[in-house]
Structures are given as C-alpha cells and as structure tokens.
Amino acid sequence: MSGHSKWATTKHKKAVTDARRGKAFAKLVKNVEVAARMGGGDPSANPTLFEAIRTAKKTSVPNDNIERARKRGAGEEAGGADWQTIMYEGYGPNGVALLVECLTDNKNRAAGEVRVAMSRNGGNMADPGSVSYLFARKGVVHLEKGEQTEDDVLMAVLDAGAEEVLDHGESFEVVSEPTDLIAVRTALQEAGIDYDTAEAAFHASVSVEVDLEGARKVIRLIEALEDSDDVQNVFSNADFPDEVMAQLAED
C-alpha cells in the first residue's frame, strides 16, 4: 500500500491545480452530503461530517457548495440523491489487487463504468471476496512533514491508539484502527500538528512491488477508474519503490 499511498499524496497536491479538479470537487461535495445524511447536519456532533467539510475546504471547494451539500444531506434543503456504497474487486497489471469503492445512485451505471475502465486498461473484474481478504479497513491520517520528525508524530499519537507512522518522503501516514481515528486526529490537533486528511481506508496486508512500466500501467488504470463520477476511492496493494516514484514524478 505504501507505493500507492505515496502516489496518492502526490496526486492530492496536484488536484487543486490540474484539470481533474472539477471531479475531485464533486466527490468531496458528495462525501459531505452523505455524511450529513448518515449522522446529522451538525459537524460538532458528527465527526465524519466534520472531516468531510474540513477536507473539502482544504481542497478549495467553495463554501457555498459545501453548505448546500450539508443542507441537502441533513434534509434542510430539497434535493439530494439516494447514494449507496458498493465495493468492486479486481486485478490490475502485474497482478496488483484493487478495491474500487463507489458511491452511486445507479448501481448498473457504476458497475458498467468500472467494468469498462478495467477492460480498457489491462484490468479484470474479480468475484466478491477474492481480493478483499487481502485488505483490512484502517483509520488513516495523512500529514505533511513540515518541521515534525517521525518521533514527534509518534509521541503525539501513540496513546491515542495509533499502530504505526509510515514515512512517505515528504509526508507521514498515521495508521490506526478505524475506531481510534477520531482520537488520533484529536491528538494531533492537541499537539499543534496540522494534518491533510483523516479517513477510513483499506490497507493491504501483502503488497506487490512494480517496476516503472508496471507502475505507469497501474496508475493509468487507477486514474481511469477515478474518472468515473461514481468511484470515490481506489485502493491497491501496489508498492512503488522510491526510484520508481522519482521517475514517475518526472513524467
């Protein structure tokens, strides 16, 4: 998962300025609406909504868009869709395992778009359960290194239930059980350490190291999947070595 995480962090930084920003905005707004629907429209009483709003704001989504989504989800304003979460499983180039998390109001459309993206980019759909056993749901917090050392971050989050702090070059990734995510996030805030995102994600128990050409193919497939409005997240067990990451950054 480490290679994919490093690439995802790099891509996140680019998202504000590149042509994919519109799709990223739409997905973040959808997260706000769903969080408000599931746990109520008060961010102070709904940690998932608090985080969805915070992430959207950090990615420069306009406040009006965020507030309208919150109101739709909370039932304070008409509109909104019946969003459903669906998970698809598959394999990409080099035998990389993929979990594709969709948030959609049309299952048939979502399934079709995932299948087309897979087939056109060297991937294959897999039966339910054939890939998911390789992943475990975890709480994941991403933060820029800044002035912090790995020990600084570890000391701040250890008592909050963090399992490990991963070094991804320019950033850290703090991993915990999903139930400890709020405590870890709060511990960072209390220590004066800013973070980029805090969310439940899937971590792979076994990774597949890929070379430069394999990495390019895997990324092409992941980006094709993410181009679908219905796809919220793509998790993989691809591991991109540092030298491959350096070459990808030059692409």
Q: Among candidates 94, 97, 85, which has minimal Cα distance to 125?
A: 97
- The CATH code of the domain at 134-204 is 3.30.70.980
pLDDT at 6: 52
Which class in CATH covers the domain with range 2-74?
A: mainly alpha
**Residue given tokens 């899937």 in the structure block:** 202
Does 134-204 match 2-74 at the fold level? Answer: no
- Rounded Cα gap, residues 151 and 162, in angstroms: 13
In this structure, are residues 186 and 163 in contact, taking their beta carbons and an 8 Å threshold? no
**Residue given tokens 């570890």 in the structure block:** 154
pLDDT at 16: 43
pLDDT at 97: 95
For residue 194, the SS3 value is coil
Per-residue pLDDT of the chain (251 residues; tens, 9 = 90+): 444 455 555 554 444 445 566 778 889 999 999 999 999 999 999 999 999 999 999 888 999 999 999 999 998 888 777 889 999 999 999 999 999 999 999 999 999 999 999 999 999 999 999 999 999 999 999 998 888 899 999 999 999 999 999 888 788 999 999 999 999 999 999 999 999 889 888 989 888 999 999 999 999 999 899 889 999 999 999 988 888 887 877 77
Q: Among candidates 116, 96, 80, which has minimal Cα distance to 224?
A: 116
Instruction: Kindly report the backbone phi and psi dihedral angles of residue 66, in degrees, each rounded to the nearest multiple of 5, phi listed first.
Output: -65, -45
pTM of the model: 0.84
pLDDT at 57: 92
pLDDT at 78: 80
What are the CA-CA distances from residue 181 to residues 45, 46, 51, 177 (Å)?
A: 15, 13, 11, 7
pLDDT at 11: 52
pLDDT at 3: 42
Q: Map out the domains of the chain as residue ranges.
A: 2-74, 87-127+208-236, 134-204
**CATH code 3.30.70.980 for 87-127+208-236:** yes
Sign of CA dihedral 169, 172, 175, 178: negative
